[in-house]
Amino acid sequence: MNNMHKNLQNFIIWAQNKPGVLFRILWLFRRKQLNIESVTAGHSEIPDITRITITVSNNGNKVKNMVHQLNKLVNVVKVEHLDTAMLVYREMALIKIALSEKEEKSQVLRIIEHFRGRVINMTNSVMVIEATGDENKIDAFYENIKNFNIVEFVRTGRAALLK
Amino acid sequence: MKSRLKTGQKVQGAEIVCESLLRHGVSVIFGYPGGANIPIYDALYKYPELKHVLVRHEQGAAHAAEGYAWATGRPGVCFTTSGPGATNLVTGLADAMLDSIPMVCLTGQVPSKMLGTDAFQEADVLGVTLPVTKHNYLVTGAGDIAPSIYEAFHLATAGRPGPVVVDITKDAQANYAEFAEPEIMPEFNKKIKTDATADELDSLALLLNNAEKPLIIAGHGVLLSGDGKSLLKVAESQDIPVTLTQLGLSAIPHDHPLFMGMPGMHGAVSANRAPLEADVILALGMRFHDRVTGKVSAYAPQAKIIHIDIDPSELGKNVVPEIAIVGDVKTILNRLLPKLKKRKNPLWLDRFKLWKKEEEEKVINPELNADILKSAAVINLLSKETRGLATIVADVGQNQMYAAKYYCYRKYNSHFTSGGLGTMGFALPAGMGAKMADPDREVWIVIGDGGIQMTLSELATIAQEKLDIKIALLNNNYLGMVRQWQELFYKGNYSQVRLKNPDFQKLSEGFGIKSEKADNLNSAGQAIKNARDFKGPYLIEFVVAADENVFPMLPAGAGIDEMIISKADMK
């Protein structure tokens, strides 16, 4: 899995916050036969401008051309195509684990501590954990915790800023 | 600028549609009314300046608008209703998208409250047309109509032209809003680079000034940039041979000594051999399409390529250029010209004489001197009779190749066709649109017996409008291009290419269009004269050889070094 993250190329796209804009952008990746590994979209520091971070596996010329293709979309204001080395970025994962015995709970808490995760909700039988980091850290966290009874697992794409 | 409304006047959305078109200088609209755009047709009643042509199928409206745009350089305009009216436009939109033709299509949509309910004649027009437009809009309020239409006109011609759809709900057409001329929002004025930098110009001039075997390949971008004179001046200053891609034909006079034909799958021997020997290729407003390059790895092995195009996404897409410049071809060539050393290049031009002679002997002369009537001979006759000054609107297939190769275009921007999408049936409505846009043109539609039957219903529109259009129907009773492939590459298995055609004379007569039939060179020549003497639509059915093949030919996927010059060349 680690190798998979190595070659990810990042597109950071600033676009108007209007209906259908995300669809136009994602459609273009499909049209140009690029497989999206992750997408993160949300408000930026500029009013009415959405910031979208998309990662794809490296595909040489196609990836380079994609910047120009994206720029042709009317609602796209700005596009940057960046190497991972130029970014600081985080992913976040939420994991819900069902616990049956006390011993399990302490084991899980040890793992959480090691990965600097947080417990954000806990009942007698269920624990919801938040973990942040790059993809490799999230992968490693998942590897360590997957033998417990995972009820739900969700992870975001990259939230990235230029260094 | 014509106008009817005053700023601030409160009117129905439908009237705002008409007013916006009037203020954009639209003279002709191609359309078809229906339930969801009936308010627009009601408003049109008050706008006699907007000439409306009632087509017989919305695809015809789209191609007619393309023809209008080819002839004028201004966006062609269509009206259709919702659902099937809008989806019938799709082929024409895709055609305009690939061939960079400006168009603004206004489609009616179900009332906004019914959107998403699968209402009668509802189609997701935004979703359906997204892949085949530069941009599209869904307008649900009367107040949003003018801004959307103004943006659409701006986008259709900004940078690389293309089609834009504005989908307007019926309630937006019927509701009232104040008319005001909108300002184009700044995001629509994304900076389009049109000129080369000084450094770019210097490196361009350096490469050309030191080239031994330079070659120009110019495409549609030259015509879209508005003149072929700058191209000709650059070529003449250094004796650079010029080849024109299919969509670039007629950018310079074809009888000019530096014109070396069209490159590509059915290109001229000279235009396909030259890239193999050239050391510098100046590619202008063209996109190294697969039909032009053949197998890319075998294309122009020793040439340094200079690629100039207004669309940055085309540079480096198909071939890797030595120098890539984003900009307008005419602007850049005019600035380049003073930097070029004047010189002659007789040795290089002699190579072309040899290649031209080879094609003449092996292909052209046999075609023109055959005992039986051939399409090439018909087009050659037409070229001579009209002295190369007519506008040829060519369809798709063999007829298109003959129109490209055997007509000697001497009038700038006088060859229109469906290049990228290759839409059979394009020529009949597109020719109609070209004639309506510019009635002074002598318009000849060149079309096959397959293609004409795809949009045949537009003969009724041509008759209704009493258009002075001439139709050269090349009838071989076959889908000729597919038949040719089957003959050459599929062991002569003629699968589904034979047509049992209608009686085209009776058919024309039914539409009220005069026609005649010609099956030999003499009658063909006379028929062309008769058609030209007649004021009004005229169809000539040329009965041509059933088994003719267009040569030279690059088999699909082959390199330009594998060009087949005649059937005798095949193993």
Q: What is the DSSP string of B348-417?
A: HHHHHHHHHHHHIIIIIHHHHT-SS--HHHHHHHHHHHTTT-SEEEE-SSHHHHHHHHHS---STT-EEE
Predicted confidence (pLDDT) per residue in B376-389, tens digit:
999 999 999 999 99
Catalytic residue among B170, B374, B435, B470: B170
pLDDT value at position A5? 65
Task: Verify that B231 and B154 share a domain, yes or no.
Answer: no
Segments making up each domain of chain A, as ranges? 2-86, 88-162
Predicted confidence (pLDDT) per residue in B299-323, tens digit:
999 999 999 999 999 999 999 999 9
- Using alpha carbons, select from B511, B531, B399 the residue that is nearest to residue B465: B511
Residue B14 has pLDDT above 80, yes or no: yes
Task: Verify that B386 and B319 share a domain, yes or no.
Answer: no
pLDDT value at position A103? 84
pLDDT value at position A61? 78
Residue B460 lies in a domain: yes
Task: Verify that B176 and B206 share a domain, yes or no.
Answer: no
pLDDT value at position A6? 64
Please give the residue of chain A at the shortest CA–CA distance from B160.
A72
Predicted confidence (pLDDT) per residue in B244-269, tens digit:
999 999 999 999 999 999 999 999 99
Nearest-10 Cα torsion for A80, A81, A84, A87? -10
Kindly provide the ipTM of the predicted complex, given to two decimals. Answer: 0.89
What are the chain B neighbours of A61 within 8 Å (beta carbons)? 316-317
Domain end point (choices B296, B321, B351):
B351
CATH topology of domain A88-162: Alpha-Beta Plaits (3.30.70)
pLDDT value at position B502? 98
CA distances for A121 relative to A126, A146, A151, A153, B54, angstroms: 8, 19, 14, 14, 67
Task: Verify that B181 and B330 share a domain, yes or no.
Answer: no
Residue B227 has pLDDT above 90, yes or no: no
CB within 8 Å of chain A, chain B residues 143-182: 155
Catalytic residue among B19, B58, B122, B359: B58
Angstrom distance (rounded) from CA B412 to CA B226:
10
pTM summary value: 0.95
Q: Which residue in the block uniquely carries the two structure tokens 């939109």?
A: B93
Catalytic residue among B9, B121, B505, B526: B121
Predicted confidence (pLDDT) per residue in B320-371, tens digit:
999 999 999 999 999 999 999 999 999 999 999 999 999 999 999 999 999 9
Rg (CA), chain B: 24
Shared fold status for A2-86 and A88-162: yes
pLDDT value at position A7? 76
CB B292 within 8 A of CB B263: yes
Task: Verify that B101 and B240 share a domain, yes or no.
Answer: no
Please give the residue of chain A at the shortest CA–CA distance from B161.
A72
Please give the residue of chain A at the shortest CA–CA distance from B130.
A24
Give me the mean pLDDT over the B492-496 stretch: 97
Cβ distance B131 to A16 less than 8 Å, yes or no, reads no
Task: Verify that B208 and B345 share a domain, yes or no.
Answer: yes
pLDDT value at position B191? 72
Cβ distance B187 to A27 less than 8 Å, yes or no, reads no
pLDDT value at position B571? 63
Predicted confidence (pLDDT) per residue in B441-490, tens digit:
999 999 999 999 999 999 999 999 999 999 999 999 999 999 999 999 99
CB B272 within 8 A of CB B156: no
Predicted confidence (pLDDT) per residue in A55-113, tens digit:
998 777 788 899 999 999 999 999 999 988 899 999 999 999 999 887 888 899 999 99
Interchain contact B188–A (C-beta under 8 A): yes
How many CB pairs lie under 8 A apart between chains A and B?
33
Give percent of chain B with pLDDT exceeding 90: 95
CA distances for A97 relative to A105, A144, B442, angstroms: 10, 13, 78
Kindly state the tokens that stand for B257.
């000594």
Cβ distance B130 to A31 less than 8 Å, yes or no, reads no
What are the chain A neighbours of B147 within 8 Å (beta carbons)? none
Interface probe, candidates B187, B320, B325, chain A, greatest A C-beta count within 10 A: B187
Average pLDDT of chain B, as a whole number: 96
Strand order in the sheet with B538-543: B415-417, B391-394, B443-448, B469-475, B538-543, B514-518
Angstrom distance (rounded) from CA A97 to CA A129:
8
Cβ distance A71 to B126 less than 8 Å, yes or no, reads no
Interface probe, candidates B136, B317, B319, chain A, greatest A C-beta count within 10 A: B317
Residue B364 lies in a domain: no
- Residue B70: CATH number of its domain: 3.40.50.970
Least confident of B189-203, B328-342, B458-472, B506-520: B189-203
- Using alpha carbons, select from A88, A70, A72, A67 the residue that is nearest to residue A133: A88
Cβ distance A72 to B313 less than 8 Å, yes or no, reads yes
Give me the mean pLDDT over the B125-142 stretch: 97
What are the chain A neighbours of B139 within 8 Å (beta carbons)? none
Question: Active-site residue B170, yes or no?
Answer: yes
pLDDT value at position A119? 95
What are the chain B neighbours of A24 within 8 Å (beta carbons)? 130
- Using alpha carbons, select from B442, B401, B444 the residue that is nearest to residue B539: B444
Looking at the 3D structure of chain B, how many domains does it have? 3
Task: Chain A: give the shortest CA distance to residue B98, in Å.
Answer: 14
Task: Verify that B59 and B133 share a domain, yes or no.
Answer: yes
Task: Chain B: give the shortest CA distance to residue A79, in Å.
Answer: 13
Task: Verify that B340 and B221 share a domain, yes or no.
Answer: yes
Residue-number span of the structural domain to which B207 is assigned: 198-351
Q: Is residue A42 within a helix (H) or strand (E), and if so which, with residue range? A: strand A36-43
Angstrom distance (rounded) from CA B55 to CA B531:
24
What are the chain A neighbours of B313 within 8 Å (beta carbons)? 65, 68-69, 71-72
Other CB atoms within 10 A of residue B45 CB? 9
Question: Active-site residue B79, yes or no?
Answer: no
Please, what is the end-to-end C-alpha distance for chain A in angstroms?
25
Task: Verify that B93 and B116 share a domain, yes or no.
Answer: yes
Q: How confident is the model at residue B189 (pLDDT cuts 50, 70, 90)?
A: low
What are the chain B neighbours of A65 within 8 Å (beta carbons)? 313, 316-317
Task: Verify that B453 and B488 share a domain, yes or no.
Answer: yes
Backbone angles phi, psi at B106, to 5 degrees: -110, 115
Residue B236 has pLDDT above 80, yes or no: yes
Task: Verify that B50 and B137 share a domain, yes or no.
Answer: yes
Question: Active-site residue B432, yes or no?
Answer: no
pLDDT value at position B175? 98
For A2-86, CATH number out of 3.30.70.260, 3.20.20.70, 3.40.1160.10, 3.30.2290.10 equals 3.30.70.260
Give me the mean pLDDT over the B387-405 stretch: 98
Nearest-10 Cα torsion for B549, B550, B551, B552? -140
Residue B57 has pLDDT above 90, yes or no: yes
Task: Chain A: give the shortest CA distance to residue B389, in Å.
Answer: 37
CA distances for B191 relative to A90, B67, B103, angstroms: 33, 29, 21
pLDDT value at position A3? 52
Helices (H) and strands (E) in chain A, counts: 5, 9
Q: How confident is the model at residue A2 (pLDDT cuts 50, 70, 90)?
A: very low
Q: Which residue in the block uniquely carries the two structure tokens 């033998």?
A: A147
Cβ distance A69 to B316 less than 8 Å, yes or no, reads no
Least confident of A7-16, B16-25, B250-259, B537-546: A7-16
Residue B56 lies in a domain: yes
- Residue B274: CATH number of its domain: 3.40.50.1220
Task: Verify that B132 and B21 share a domain, yes or no.
Answer: yes
What are the chain A neighbours of B155 within 8 Å (beta carbons)? 74
Residue B518 lies in a domain: yes
